[in-house]
Chain A
């Protein structure tokens, strides 16, 4: 179990590095927004693997909270891109 989870962490970290590359390089603002959204989803998977590896369930709370907060942040950025006011 331990070796498998460690390899999984390496793959997830490499994926997150690719997302960070797109956040830094991305020519337009929507590119960066999508990359931030994907990075949040990757962090959710990371937290769940931590919960299985360490047998501590509070990592699942972090994962749920991160998924919801990331969704709200992405929606706010999308409305900003669209040029609409936030309460319409």
Chain B
């Protein structure tokens, strides 16, 4: 019984992983790719880990269960933060949106951030030029 549930969880997680990676290849710009790939692959890997937890419960391996639960917690905490940081960095470094995009809500705020950066001269290249 536990074994069957573990198979199903791992199988569904593999499906999410595969479709997330197909989205990473097929979608048109960085923002679409990042949101498709991050959400799908995070959920898919967490479901694989849940399947591993159930399988290890069936085998009676307590250490594997604890480490897999820790791994789920780390992934759920870190993966969205990393994707958000990369997308913010991409927008501020002027990576263009797809030409079919309909809304650009971050444009004004990004201009403020860029203006503050040039005012302070905080980029590493400018620091190296100044010294």
Contact = CB atoms under 8 A, between A and B. Distances in A.
Interface of A: 1, 4, 8, 11-12, 14-16, 18-19, 21-22, 28-31, 33-35, 37-38, 41-42, 44-45, 48-49, 51-52, 55, 57, 60-61, 63-64, 67-68, 70-71, 74-75, 77-86, 88
Contacts of B2: none
A8 B41 contact: no
B24 A35 contact: yes
Given A48-B68, A49-B10, A71-B81, 20 more contacts: A1-B3, A12-B17, A15-B18, A18-B22, A30-B89, A34-B30, A35-B37, A37-B82, A42-B21, A44-B75, A45-B13, A49-B52, A64-B67, A67-B78, A78-B82, A81-B86, A82-B92, A83-B122, A84-B123, A85-B124
Which of A19, A22, A55, A81 has the most C-beta atoms of chain B within 10 angstroms of its own C-beta?
A81
Given A52-B55, A55-B59, A8 B10 contact: yes
